[in-house]
């Protein structure tokens, strides 16, 4: 059931109290909260703290602010971003405090992005999908890739803007059956693919996050085990081994990986070792063309993903980006060069 705004506020304040027990008292002493009188100044100061790596101080400031101003969607959104940064730092730091680390921070992020999605429907909703992705990653690390077969998330908990849902379906349709899809680190690419996958579509695909493979030995071990490869090897070597048994695909945000012996083919929006045979009717740009790049920051982000794909596979300029919409083809920079 969808959590109400009141429940989300209560959950986040509870989570903030836990964080405060560990570091908030010290942070509060270092932060002149009383001197900040406007929401904009509070957000600017919290953002500056966050950018300087002072996440505990920023969390304290924002938690106090949303307690008094619970309808400030921008504050909830920034608070969620900070909790996500804490979760990712836990992965980078080698799973310190196993059992009480990233899962707690991911829950805090989720409790922040829910009110953010109600108040800032566009970005808040997308980052709720990112929270679901982080929960799926924790599940993979705990129980392996096969555990995702029973890890389905209701669509209402994955509120992707239609233009990103469309991008996600186009990306996964570009990768052959039983493929391994390596996705870029952009929020648009990550959220669009995982937002569709976690609803149960294309359960045959294995989606790899290269940043996590580099940071986190436990994640790397799960990837290697699923692909029957050596976890001490770098990702390109892992993909070389995987390509002997199943198709490997690179999303638009991934540069060609130096993998000796692998020939990369162009398959719609991805590069792949075995092109997907997909009828063009399975691809769509309806939402993208109707929304227009001025309609949403995520429409612009989707356009950028399509542009990266077109730079590697210019053939889609005369198929996906032209044939279906001859009268008003989408404006893709790579296709106008």
Tens of pLDDT, residues 78-103 = 888 888 888 888 887 777 665 557 88
Which range has the worst mean pLDDT, 29-33, 108-112, 131-135? 29-33
Cβ atoms of residues 170 and 228 within 8 Å: no
Do 66 and 13 fall within a single domain?
A: yes
Domain assignment present for residue 214? The answer is yes
Question: What's the domain range around 317?
Answer: 160-336
Domain assignment present for residue 143? The answer is no
Domain assignment present for residue 251? The answer is yes
Do 193 and 307 fall within a single domain?
A: yes
Do 169 and 317 fall within a single domain?
A: yes
Do 169 and 101 fall within a single domain?
A: no
pTM for this model (two decimals): 0.75
Do 40 and 170 fall within a single domain?
A: no
Do 183 and 113 fall within a single domain?
A: no
Do 108 and 188 fall within a single domain?
A: no
Strand 248-250 relative to strand 265-267, pairing: unpaired
Whole-number pLDDT of residue 83 = 87
Q: Among 119, 147, 169, where does a domain finish?
A: 119
Domain assignment present for residue 138? The answer is no
Residue 13 has pLDDT above 50, yes or no: no
Whole-number pLDDT of residue 42 = 86
What rounded mean pLDDT belongs to the chain?
A: 81
- Number of structural domains found in the chain: 2
Whole-number pLDDT of residue 122 = 67
Whole-number pLDDT of residue 94 = 76
Tens digits of residue pLDDT in 32-74: 444 344 778 888 888 888 888 888 888 888 888 888 888 888 8
Q: Among 57, 92, 119, where does a domain finish?
A: 119
Domain assignment present for residue 241? The answer is yes
Domain assignment present for residue 150? The answer is no
Do 297 and 211 fall within a single domain?
A: yes
Do 169 and 277 fall within a single domain?
A: yes
Domain assignment present for residue 148? The answer is no
Burial (CB < 10 A; 0-12, 13-18, 19+), residue 89, is middle
Domain assignment present for residue 27? The answer is yes
């Amino acid at each position: 059931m969808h959590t109400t705004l009141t429940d989300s506020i209560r959950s986040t304040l509870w989570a903030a109290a836990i964080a405060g027990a560990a570091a908030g008292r010290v942070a509060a002493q270092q932060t002149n909260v009383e001197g900040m009188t406007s929401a904009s100044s509070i957000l600017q100061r919290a953002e500056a703290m966050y950018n300087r790596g002072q996440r505990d101080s920023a969390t304290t400031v924002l938690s106090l602010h949303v307690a008094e101003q619970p309808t400030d969607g921008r504050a909830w959104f920034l608070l969620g971003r900070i909790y996500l940064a804490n979760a990712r730092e836990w992965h980078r730091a080698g799973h310190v405090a196993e059992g009480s680390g990233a899962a707690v921070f991911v829950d805090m992020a989720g409790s922040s992005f829910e009110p953010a999605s109600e108040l800032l429907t566009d970005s808040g909703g997308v980052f709720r999908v990112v929270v679901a992705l982080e929960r799926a990653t924790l599940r993979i690390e705990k129980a392996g890739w096969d555990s995702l077969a029973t890890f389905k998330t209701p669509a209402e908990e994955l509120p992707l803007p239609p233009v990103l849902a469309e991008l996600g379906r186009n990306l996964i349709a570009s990768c052959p059956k039983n493929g391994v899809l390596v996705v870029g680190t952009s929020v648009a690419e990550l959220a669009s693919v995982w937002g569709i996958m976690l609803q149960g579509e294309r359960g045959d695909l294995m989606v790899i996050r290269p940043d996590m493979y580099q940071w986190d030995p436990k994640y790397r071990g799960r990837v290697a085990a699923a692909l029957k490869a050596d976890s001490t090897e770098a990702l390109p070597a892992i993909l070389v081994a995987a390509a002997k048994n199943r198709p490997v695909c690179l999303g638009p945000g991934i540069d060609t990986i130096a993998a000796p012996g692998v020939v990369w083919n162009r398959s719609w929006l991805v590069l792949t070792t075995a092109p997907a045979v997909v009828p063009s009717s399975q691809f769509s740009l309806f939402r993208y063309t109707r929304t227009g790049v001025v309609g949403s920051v995520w429409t612009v982000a989707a356009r950028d993903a399509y542009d990266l794909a077109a730079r590697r596979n210019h053939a889609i300029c005369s198929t996906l980006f032209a044939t279906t919409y001859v009268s008003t083809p989408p404006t893709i920079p790579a296709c106008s060069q």
